[in-house]
Every structure is written in C-alpha cells, then in structure tokens.
Amino acid sequence: MNAAGAWLVELRRLVLLSIGALGVGWVLGFPWLVLALALLALLGRWLYQLQRLQRWLADPSIEPPEARGIWGVIYDRLYKVQRSAQERQAQLQSRLDYLQGSLSSMHDGAIMVNAKGGIEWSNTAAERLLGLRYPADRGQALLNLVRLPEFHRYFLAAAFDSPLQVTIKAEHVQYLQFSVTSFGGGDRLVFVRDVTKEAQLEQMRRDFVGNVSHELRTPLTVIKGYLETILANAGQLESRYRRPLEQMEQQAARMESLLKDLLWLSRIESVRTQPRREQVNICALLEELEDELHTSHPGRKLLLELAAIDTVAGDYRELHSAVSNLVLNAFKYSKDDSIVTVGWRREGGRLLLSVQDQGIGIDMVHLPRLTERFYRVDDSRSSATGGTGLGLAIVKHVAAAHRAELRIESTPGAGSTFTLVFPG
C-alpha cells in the first residue's frame, strides 16, 4: 500500500470510529463520553506504535515491528532506508578494507599522518623499517617516534618535490628513502623504502669507476712520458713516424684529462653525503679563476660582474671546478674574440652565479639530457674542442652537493647562460 492510500484508510478508520462511538453513545445516553473514550483508545494505540518504533530505532538489530495502515507504511519506509544505509556502509567498509589490505601488504612502509602530525595509520612494513606499531602508536606525533634529524628537517620544510635518502649507521649501514604526498586538508601519506641494495650497488659502481681511473693513470703516465721524450728528440725521427706519434700524444693527453675528470667526479659523488661547512668567498674564487684563465687562455675576454659579496657554505675546490668547467665550455663553444661574462648577484632572496657566452648556443631538445655523462650535442665538434663529456655532469653534482639548482638557458646562434642558483 502506498502512503496516500494508507492515510485514506487511517482517515476512514477515524471517521467510522467516531460515528460508531457517537452511535453507541447515543443509545447509551452519553454520546460525547463514548466518543472521548474511543478517541483515547485510538491515541493509546498510536502511543503503543510510537513506543515500538522508538524501541526498534534504539536497537536496529531486532526485527522491525509489523503493523497495518499508516504505521505499517512508516515501518516499511524506515526499514528500507536503514537497509540501504547498511548496504552502503558495508560497501564503503569493504573498499576501505581493500585499500588498507593493499597498503598493509606493501613491501614499502606506509604511514598516514594527520594535519597535526599525528599518526592515523601505519602498515607492518613501517613497523619493520621504523619501529612504528599500529594501532598502539595511533595519535602519537610521527616526529617523536622517528628520530632522524634529516627526516625532521625534510618533513617540517614540507618541500616534498624529491624524495629524501637517509643513511642509518647501526650494526649494518641501512639506507632509507622517504617520499611524502600531501592530501586533503594538510594530511600526509609517508612512504618509506629500504634502498640499501640500490645504494650499495651505486657505491660499488662509483668505487669501480674511481679504482679503474686510478689504476689506468700510472701506465698512461709512462706512455705519455716516453712519447714526450721521443717527440722532444724529433730531429732524429723519420718524418713518417712523427705525425702518428703526435696524434698518440694528443690522444694520451685527452685520455689523461678524461681520467682526471672521472676521478674527480667519483670523488665528489662519494663525499656527497657529508656536508662541508666552509664559507667560500665567491668573489675571491672568481678573481682567482680570472687570473688562472688569463694565463692559460691569454687571448680570451672574461668579464666579471660582482654585484654581491655573499659567501656560500660548501667546498672551495668543488665550486672552483664547477665554475671553471662552465667558463671553459663558454670559451670552447664561442668565437675567440667574443666576451664571456661571469656574474655573482642576489635576486629574489637567492644567490645567482651565472656564466654567459655569445657562442653557438644549444637547441632546446638537448637541454634535459645535457648534464648526463658523455652526452654531447655534436660529437665531432666536442672531440675537436677536446671535451671529455663529463664537464656538466661535474657541475650538476657540485650544484646538488651545495643545494643549488643548475639552470640552462640557450638560444642557438646567440649564446648560452648557465646559472647556479643557491638558496639565499
């Protein structure tokens, strides 16, 4: 029965009850009293139904009450609303269980942190990697339980663009990588991975490159020494041997600078995790570099524009090698009579060290890969200029070790600007 029909039945029942009561009352001589009693009885019945309804609402697990008429319709509707709410809740719960199940079984640690920094949930891998226990630690501040200073700084700085790698020196060295995603109104999802194997492999690769470069230097020095001696006595040489020997000497020199760059790169890569806190006077560094280049490249024009006197916390040799690589590139890839400008200035709270040339420039397609080892825009040109292909890789590593960003702007045919942007 629908609601309108039920109301009609209820109304008809009320009218019939009233007429009946009045009729019986009229026969008995008390029509109003009997009517009042009949209406009271009806009211009592409604109160009884209301009480059954209240009991059922208080405990939805009991069977819903049965009734006819409008009360039956009301119970029916409420029962349907209750059932669909239960179904929706069960669906949501099963989705939640599914999500939590997949996060729980993850090999990586996952921790949900609320806007106040308290732990909402964490999985079993987070217990294995960080010792967080769920649900025992629920509501506790994450930073009170994860006592890693680097992670504290990273988490509080809230700059989550790149992950953080932390070295834990316990019985065995362990490397953990944290990545954080913000969601909702300031909540955060923290993922933590054990990257010890990857880090050890990377270390092995670096050591290997470093050792091989080191081992190759001694035989190369011997070869170079003999070549130099032979060529110094060139007068006694048959002319057909001179050209090949000169080429051998050139290539040996190239190989030597390649080994030098490889060794230097592996050195700055391996000390990267130890912060160096010497205050480097950039103006003095640039003036010294200017003097050196004046001697090594007497014909070249270098212009210093020093608009800041700020120092940078870091390593003098590394910064010197980065700027000198940039300036030597600027010399290599521009005409001999063009000017190379090196600037040191403050801009928008940051410190900018720029090297600008008016050379051949670089097409935009090459920019994303330019700092890769041995990446060259034009192989023939680079070999002709004697480059090792490692210069910009060194610059990038030095920049990263000093929390600086390397910006490259270039217009083919007009020139390039390489800028190291240091946080102010």
- In 63-117 the beta strands, taken as DSSP E runs, fall at 109-113
CA-nearest of 271, 251, 270 to 259 is: 251
Which C-beta is closer to ligand ADP: that of 109 or that of 391?
391
CB of 122 to ligand ADP, least distance (A): 44
Smallest separation (angstroms) from ligand ADP to the CB of 242: 28
Least Å distance, CB 377 to ligand ADP, is 3
- Specify the residue, 120 or 378, whose C-beta has the smaller distance to ligand ADP: 378
Positions that interact with ligand ADP (CB under 6 A): 329-330, 333, 357, 359-360, 362, 370, 375-378, 382, 387-393, 416
- Closest distance between ligand ADP and the C-beta of residue 212, in Å? 19
Specify the residue for token string 């800041």.
308
Pick 181 or 383: Cβ nearer ligand ADP: 383
Pairing mode of beta strands 339-347, 301-306: parallel
State in angstroms the smallest separation of the CB of 229 from ligand ADP. 29
> To the nearest whole angstrom, how small is the minimum distance from the Cβ of residue 374 to ligand ADP?
8
* Closer CB to ligand ADP, 397 or 402, in the complex: 397
* Concatenated DSSP letters of 325-361: HHHHHHHHTS-TTSEEEEEEEEETTEEEEEEE--SS-
8 Å CB contact between 315 and 279 = no
The string of DSSP codes covering 252-297 is: HHHHHHHHHHHHHHHHHHHTTTS---EEEEHHHHHHHHHHHHHHHS
Phi-psi region of 280 (alpha: psi -120 to 50; beta: other; left: phi over 0): beta
In order of 172, 266, 278, 360, 392, the CA distances from 195 in angstroms are: 13, 20, 30, 42, 27
Residue type, 326: L
Phi, psi angle pair for 31, to nearest 5°: -60, -45
- Nearer to ligand ADP (CB atom), residue 288 or residue 409: 409
20: left (phi > 0), else alpha (psi -120 to 50), else beta?
alpha
Of residues 52 and 376, the one with the C-beta less far from ligand ADP: 376
Residue 318 sits at the vertex; the CA angle it makes with 321 and 364, to the nearest 5 degrees, is 60
Contact (CB, 8 A) for 399 and 322: yes
Question: Minimum Å distance from CB 375 to ligand ADP?
Answer: 6
Could you tell me the smallest distance in angstroms from the CB atom of residue 301 to ligand ADP? 15
Using the minimum distance from each CB to ligand ADP, give the nearer residue, 121 or 333: 333
For ligand ADP, give the closer residue by CB, 362 or 399.
Answer: 362
**Tokens 């070295």 — which residue?**
167
Residue 58 corresponds to which tokens in the numbers above? 């208080």
Instruction: Give least dist CB 335 to ligand ADP, A.
Output: 12
State the minimum distance, in angstroms, from the CB of residue 381 to ligand ADP. 7
CA distances from 168 to 107, 145, 150 (A): 19, 15, 11
- Residue 188: its H or E element: strand 187-194
Residues near 202 by Cβ (< 8 Å), separated by ≥ 6?
A: none
How far apart (Å, rounded) are the C-alpha atoms in residues 242 and 155? 64
417 SS3 class: strand
C-beta closer to ligand ADP: residue 263 or 393: 393
Structure tokens given for 260: 């030098």
Question: Which CB sits closer to ligand ADP, 75 or 333?
Answer: 333
Q: Is 401 helix (H, G, I), strand (E, B) or coil?
A: helix
Q: How far is the CB of 254 from ligand ADP (least distance, A)?
A: 10
* Residue number with CB closer to ligand ADP (128 or 301): 301
